[in-house]
Amino acid sequence: MKDLSRRNFVKMSAVGAGMMALGMNADAAVMKEKDVKWDEDFDVVIIGSGFAGLAAGIKAAKRGLNVVIIEKMGRIGGNSVVNGGIFAVPNSELQKKNGVKDSKELFISDCVKAGLGLNHVELLEVLADRAVDTFNFTVENGAKYLDKLLLEGGHSVPRTYYTANTSGSGIVQPLMESFQKLPNATVKTRTKFDDFILDDSGRVVGVQVRENYRFDNKLFSDDRENKGGDKKFIKAKKGVVLASGGFCSDKFFRKLQDPRAVPEFDTTNHPGATAGALISAFKVGALPVQIGWIQYIPYKCPDEKGNGITSKFAAQASFRYGFSVDPKTGKRYMNELADRKIRADAMFKIIDAKANSYPINLCDSVAAAKLVPSDLENPMKSGVIKKFDTLDELAKEYKIPAEELKKTAERYNGFVKSGVDEDFGKPMKLTDGITVATPPFYAMRGAPKLHHTMGGVKINTKAQVLDINDEPIPGFYAAGEVTGGTHGASRLGSCAILDCLTFGMIAGENIG
C-alpha cells in the first residue's frame, strides 16, 4: 500500500464500490492490457455511430488520426436516425433573419429552469459558445435545413432549426458519408462493445468487442443475455470516445433508476438503447452523474408504438397554437408550452391507462397549416390524427363533454386575444394570435413516453471523462446522451442534437 498513490487508491475504491453495487467482482472487473493480445489497432476507437460518434470521428480523422467507429446494431445512427431533426442554435443567422433577439444568457437561463437548477453550467456555456460553429459543421458536411424557425416548449424565443427531411437522418446520413470518404476512417456495424482495456497506469488503451454480433430484442437485455459474436481486442493508441447513447430501452437498468419505468412502459428509443457501455464506464472509474433522472416526452401518442409520427403535430401545432384537454372534463389542465417535464407530469396526473383515457391535443386549420404538409398528412393516413368539421364532432369521437369543450375553447381564445393565460400561464405572445376557431379541427390522443436518460458519466469542457477524484481518466472521452449533468433534471427539446454534436466535435478535436 506504500506505493499506492492517493489518486489510484480513490479510483480503486470507487471501482470496488461500483462493482459491489452492480453485483460484480471488483478484482475481475477491469481488463488489463497485459492480459490481452491485440487483433487490430487504431489511433481512436469510437463507441456508437450517432450524432456524437460521427462528429468525433470526422474531427479526429481530419486531424490525420486513424479512426474506427464501432456500432452494435446492423445499421448506423442509433437514436439519432429516429430523432425528430430539431436543432437548437442560439444566436443563429435564421434568428437574425426573423428578427428574434437571443443571447447566451437567455439560452442558459432557459436550460437551467427546465433542469431544475441541477445543470452543470460550464457545459451549457460550451454549447452556447459553439452552437453556430456546430450548426455550420453539419452544413459543411452536407446537412440541409428548412428555412423555418421553430419554437420548442420551455424556450423563451424561437431558436430551433428543422432538417429538410424532418428527421435526424438528415444529419446522420451526410455525416456518415463525409466520414466514410476519409481515407483513415473505418465503420464496423454488428460490432458490440463489451469492455474497456486499461494499461498499468490506468489509461484506457483499447476495447474488447464482439464482431458478427446480432442484437436480439426478444431478450430481456442484450447486454446481459446475448453472448453471440466473435471476441476481438482493438487497441486505441490515442484513446477511446464513448458515444453509446442512453438506456431508455434497457428494461432492467431503467427501472432500477426510476421504478415508474416498468417493462411495459413504451419508449421512443430504438431497441439497442441499453446500458451496457455505461456500466462498463463505471467499471473503470467513470464518475456517475444524475443517473436516476429520466425524461418522458409529452408529444407522443398511445395509439402508435415507439417514436411514432405525431410529434410534430403535438409540438408545433396543438401545443403551440391550440390546447390539450382532459377528456373526462373537457377542460385544459396545463401550460402547453411549458418544458417537457412539467407537461409530462401534468399528463400523468390525468391519464387512466386502465380505462384507456388519455389527454386530447387539438388545434384548428390555421394552426395545422403551419406544419410541413407531411407532418399532418402521414399521421392522418395512419389514423392517429383525426379531422373534424365541428368541435361537437371532435367531442363525440373522444367522449368529451361537448359543452365543456366549447366553453374551454371560448375561454382559451379569449386568453389569446388578451395576451394573458389566466389559468396556466401559457405565454400567449408565442401563439401568434392563432385561436381554436377556424374549422376543420384536428386532434390526437397524447401520452408521455420514456425519451432521454439525463444522467451518465461526468465529463469536463474538453469532453474528458472524469473519475471520482474529479480528474480526467487518461485516454477516455465521452459525448452525447451517455454523459450527464449538462441538462440537469430535464432537457429542453431540440438541445440533444446541439449537445451530442458539440461535445462529439470537442472529443475529436482533443483526443490524443
Q: Active-site residue numbers?
A: 340
| Alpha carbon separation from 373 to 76, 81, 376, 494 (Å, rounded) | 28, 21, 6, 21
In the chain, helix, strand, coil percent, each to 5? Answer: 40, 20, 40
Cα four-point dihedral sign 69, 254, 491, 126: negative
Q: Which three cell numbers stand for residue 462?
A: 474538453
Give, rounded to a whole angstrom, the gap between the first and last alpha carbons of the chain: 31
Distance CA 302, CA 323 (A): 18
Distance CA 497, CA 171 (A): 9
The 10 Å Cβ neighbour count of residue 121 is 15
Task: Decide: 295 and 454 in contact? Cβ < 8 Å.
Answer: yes
**What is the DSSP secondary structure assignment for residue 66, as one 8-state letter?**
-
Which residue, 228, 214, 112, 96, is CA-closest to 157? 96
Phi and psi angles of residue 226, each rounded to the nearest 5 degrees, phi first: -85, 110
Q: What is the dihedral of CA 360, 361, 364, 367, to 10 degrees?
A: 180
Q: What is the DSSP string of 158-181?
A: --EEEBTTSSTHHHHHHHHHHHHH
Q: What is the DSSP string of 250-309?
A: -HHHHHHH-TT--TTS-BSS-TT--SHHHHHHHHTTBPEESTT-EEEEEEE-TTSSTT-S
Cα four-point dihedral sign 335, 337, 342, 344: positive
Q: Which residues of 317-335 are buried (b: 16+ CB within 10 A; e: fewer)?
A: bbbbbbbbbbbeebbbbbb
Distance CA 284, CA 282 (A): 5
Distance CA 91, CA 157 (A): 11
Distance CA 324, CA 505 (A): 39
Q: What is the Cα Rg of the chain in Å?
A: 24
